[in-house]
Amino acid sequence: MPAVLDDISTEILNLKKKIGATILAHYYQEGEIQELADITGDSLKLAREATKVDTPVIVFCGVLFMAETAKMLNPTKKVLLPDLKAGCSLVDSCPPDKLHRYQEMLRENGRKFQTVTYINSSAAVKALSDWVVTSGNAEEVVRKIPAEYEILFVPDKHLGRYLSEVTGRQMILWDGSCMVHEIFSVHDLVRMKKLHPGAQVIAHPECPKNILEHAEFIGGTEAMIKHVGSFKDPVEFIVATEPNMMWQLESRFKQHKYLPVPGITCACNKCPHMALNTLEKIRDCMKTGQPEILWQPEFDKAKEVLAKSLLNPPATKPHPQGD
């Protein structure tokens, strides 16, 4: 690690003690950030871990919807996001007013449905939903919905299509997608499979069908870790998800080899939103106490949907203003 990063890392660790902070980081953060974090995880693990944090501050190294989720599930904590502009193409694809109009149209047409929303969505969209799911619990939640209901799945059409295939449930799919998983190059993937005939392809269900049909294993980031960890002898894995995930796999399971699938337009195919968080911004947010996730009116309803969907048993702490 270069000396300059060493200095910043030490500063961050000192600030962490000084202000009483717990650092949570998603697997799509740079390795140097994951290395500093108290807890790393996928969306589901981080949401659940956020409820257990007992320090006054949570520094969330991920994107806005994840930091909002932490705030909703543990409202008395000060939640900091190093860069407030760290958004998500899936969130952008589903404006709440557009979803509301669509739901009204379905109701006017006599359709009986439940709205199942991927956690990669705004709080206002979560507030319009019956369930909020992550790649880690989506199948389980979908299987629990009584057959008399149609399912409106928002906003990820690829995850929705995949869930529909594995559960056999018909779904009305919103037209949203992840800008990272959408652009993996099938051409390169097929070429890599030919060059590495013994390799296993592992892919995130946010990928389109043309990528998933080449995969030996499909699962969210936590499920990928479990899968890769189940092989004791060395295996080559071709990885179709955000490439920072490989830092986590490489540090846990050194016996294997990992090959990233390139994107069509960008060979590294990193998430530009996740990349907005840097060590410098983490240090600065701890120094200034900004940017902070502030309570929004729509959090009141959204947190109920989040808690019943993700926590078992549901146990959010009350908001200090008493909602």
Residues lying near ligand SF4 in the complex (CB under 6 A) are found at: 28, 63, 88-90, 120, 178-180, 242, 271, 273-274
Nearer to ligand SF4, 120 or 129 (CB): 120
In the bound state with ligand 13P, the residue whose beta carbon lies nearer, of 8 and 58, is: 58
CB 241, min distance to ligand SF4, A: 8
Give 175: exposed, middle or buried? Use CB within 10 Å, 0-12, 13-18, 19+.
exposed
Q: Angle between the 245-252 and 221-229 helix axes, to the nearest 10 degrees?
A: 30
DSSP H helical segments within the chain, as ranges?
3-19, 31-36, 43-50, 64-73, 89-92, 96-108, 123-127, 138-144, 157-167, 186-195, 209-212, 221-229, 245-252, 279-288, 299-310
- Cβ at position 90, least distance to ligand SF4 in Å: 5
Can you spell out the DSSP letters for 31-64? HHHHHH-SEEE-HHHHHHHHTT--SSEEEEES-H
89 binds, among ligand 13P, ligand SF4, none (CB under 5 to 8 A by kind): ligand SF4
- Show Cβ contacts of residue 194 under 8 Å, excluding neighbours closer than 6 positions: none
Residue 110, sorted as left (phi over 0), alpha (psi -120 to 50) or beta, turns out to be left
Nearer to ligand 13P, 15 or 240 (CB): 240
Phi, psi for residue 311 in degrees, rounded to 5: -105, 140
Please say which residue, 22 or 244, places its beta carbon nearer to ligand SF4: 244
- Residues 6 or more apart whose CB falls under 8 angstroms from that of 237 comprise 199, 200, 201, 202, 228, 249, 256, 257, 258, 259
Kindly state the smallest distance separating residue 66's Cβ from ligand 13P, in Å: 7
The residue (of 29 and 74) whose beta carbon lies closer to ligand SF4 is: 29
Beta carbon nearer to ligand SF4, 199 or 215: 215
43 binds, among ligand SF4, ligand 13P, none (CB under 5 to 8 A by kind): ligand 13P
Rounded Cα gap, residues 172 and 130, in angstroms: 15
Residue 122 binding target from ligand 13P, ligand SF4, none, CB below 5 to 8 Å by type: none
Partner from ligand SF4, ligand 13P, none contacting 40, C-beta within 5 to 8 A by type: none
Question: Which does residue 179 bind out of ligand 13P, ligand SF4, none, counting CB within 5 to 8 angstroms by kind?
Answer: ligand SF4
Q: Rounded CA gap, 212 and 202, in Å? A: 9
CB of 55 to ligand 13P, least distance (A): 23
Query: In the complex, what is the shortest distance from the CB of residue 244 to ligand SF4, in angstroms, rounded to a whole number?
Result: 10
Minimum distance from residue 287 beta carbon to ligand 13P (Å): 27
Strand partners, 59: 23, 80
Residues near ligand 13P, by CB under 6 A: 27, 42-44, 120, 134-136, 178, 206, 220-221
Residue 273 touches which of ligand 13P, ligand SF4, none (Cβ within 5-8 Å per kind) = ligand SF4
Closest CB to ligand 13P among 142 and 286?
A: 142
Place of tokens 């009305």: 172
Strand partners, 237: 200, 258
Q: How far from each other are the two terminal CA atoms of the chain, in whole angstroms?
A: 46
Q: Nearest-CB residue to ligand 13P?
A: 220
Q: Which does 134 bind (CB under 5 to 8 A by kind): ligand 13P, ligand SF4, none?
A: ligand 13P
182 binds, among ligand SF4, ligand 13P, none (CB under 5 to 8 A by kind): none
For ligand 13P, the closer CB: 42 or 298: 42
